[in-house]
Chains A and B, each alone.
Chain A
């Protein structure tokens, strides 16, 4: 676009020199091109909106975290409760993400490769965590697994604690993050179809061998992308975890819950210090994601980047 307008301008400058009529034709706009003021307005709106609602809060998090200097920032992590919260968050993510990796691949495989009764229902169900409030999910788990819940008696009799303990937090996280991997894989696997897999089978590969050598390499970038998004959400989940955790300091507090407690206790620097760590994790995820997208797009378009 800019190249062609430069060329146009150059030819217009030459025209009077050649001695022809010096009337400049009006600059003509493509039918799909907006008027300059419309363009400026739209760009201003978009950038302003992003700055106000996304960039400013992000900057504020880091500013607040360092308001009283690096010493206070570091001091926030000297609190054993903060360390426990970080460890718990990592443990939850380390269990929930692989679980969803397995469930997500299985669900995507089932939806993309087979026709069965209730397939549309399954696809809708996969999206459920996107549409339902995480608090509702947490409450349902409490209703089912708390000591007064439907399975509570059975669990208690066997000495299993789910609500207000690690299993409940993991289950709530798995629920909320389920769609990320499945949603990433389903469209790609549907587009790829079965032919590569059939080719592998006709060449004598076993089902498992086919999966490792053909199916997985075909979807690896989408899978990695889904895992990253799933991980980011697993670490940041608040609502569902808040309901099932019970906020037991040093025991069932994840990072987001710990931040809330600190904030409610007016320990703003400490709250923002932990928050900045979460935000930094999100930024790293975003960075890897953009890099992957760049690489993955090339993979799809040219197919020969390795």
Chain B
């Protein structure tokens, strides 16, 4: 089921949580809503679910307007950060809850419900756990049960709100891989909210980066990591330093030195600007052409080494990443920096 969100706005009292969001989700897509807290990603998810009433705009499920439908009518599956399993019910009763609350006409028979529960328990790799209670399960197991419970009602869209947020780092990674495989097998249109960029880039087909109630960028993980569209995305995803530079006659200058940056679109403005550079895009040589700088810091972390340079005429430290086994320069050494990729925005 494809999803079409049109000009969606939401205000809480006098504060706006969403400013006219437009987003299309293809059928079977696994899409991540990524942003810091307060960026509106959870509000957007809850509006799609029908748990929040939007202040304006439309939400279409498969071309059909669902904006005015109640949460029950939307037939979505929702997975909460803290699982929200019913702790007085067994795992089997939790999973079958959505089927058992149906009106008699559409409710499956008891035998059909039992079969469905068994099938789902097998799918989440917890066969034989039906008689236990949620408190007897680990966090990762509970989250899988929550997923099974959401899937039992055969939802048209699966919505996950920080699904790994309450788990420890190791379980988080395992469950993330598991969810990716699970999605590839079941193919539900899935939206998940996260503030963890690694999670979003690792798991999603497409990432939507949000900030302050607006979409900053949407694209594949490669798009948002390699070609950040806005200063916010550069700051938020991956690592980068910001250099205050100057554009003169369409050419960028760091202090008095002109820098050459490959694949930069033509600069249509003059004046102060901001240059965002990732450490892995900085190369250095002891001689030749480039941005001349002095080594100011050396820092070994695991298999790589970070070298801090201060370019002539600036105060900002530009970091470069090199393998740890490569002979490092010494503090105070001079080097020519080559910036292999960067983002440039008018200040």
Contact = CB atoms under 8 A, between A and B. Distances in A.
Interface of A: 195-196, 198-206, 209, 213-214, 217-218, 302-304, 306
B164 to A, nearest CB: 16
Interface centre among B71, B82, B134, B153 (most CB of A within 10 A): B71
B84 A198 contact: yes
Nearest to A302: B135
B88 interface: yes
Among A201, A218, A302, max chain B CB count under 10 A is at: A201
Nearest to A201: B71
- Give the secondary structure class of B's interface: loop
A251 to B, nearest CB: 46
10 contacts: A200-B101, A202-B51, A202-B78, A204-B72, A204-B101, A205-B97, A214-B86, A217-B88, A218-B88, A302-B135
Interface residues of B, number: 28
B51 A198 contact: yes
7 closest cross-chain pairs (CB), A and B: A203-B98, A303-B135, A199-B84, A202-B78, A304-B135, A205-B101, A217-B88
B80 A199 contact: yes
Contacts of B72: 201-202, 204-206
A202 B85 CA distance: 13
Contacts of B97: 200, 203, 205, 213
Given A199-B84, A214-B86, A218-B88, A306 B133 contact: yes
A206 B88 contact: no
Given A202-B71, A203-B149, A304-B135, A196 B98 contact: no
B44 interface: no
Given A202-B78, A304-B133, A304-B136, A195 B101 contact: no
A233 B50 CA distance: 44
Interface in B144-180: 149-150, 152-153
Contacts of A195: 80, 82, 84
Given A304-B133, A306-B133, A202 B88 contact: no
Nearest to A197: B84
B308 interface: no
Contacts of A306: 88, 133
Interface string B118-157: 0000000000000001111000000000000110110000
A202 B150 contact: yes
Given A199-B149, A200-B86, 20 more contacts: A198-B51, A198-B78, A198-B80, A199-B84, A199-B86, A200-B97, A200-B101, A201-B51, A202-B50, A202-B76, A203-B97, A204-B75, A204-B98, A205-B101, A209-B101, A213-B97, A214-B86, A302-B135, A303-B134, A304-B87
B106 to A, nearest CB: 10
A195 to B, nearest CB: 4
Contacts of B87: 218, 303-304
A306 B133 CA distance: 10
Contacts of B75: 204
- B82, B101, B134, B149 — which one has the most chain A CB atoms within 10 A of its CB? B101
Nearest to A198: B51
Nearest to B98: A203
Contacts of A213: 86, 97, 101
A200 B102 CA distance: 12
Contacts of A199: 78, 80, 84-86, 149
Nearest to A194: B51
B86 A202 contact: no
Nearest to B146: A199
A78 B185 CA distance: 79
A201 to B, nearest CB: 5
B88 to A, nearest CB: 4
A79 B72 CA distance: 60
A204 B152 CA distance: 11
Contacts of B293: none
B49 interface: yes
Interface string B247-288: 000000000000000000000000000000000000000000
A202 B133 contact: no
Contacts of B77: 202
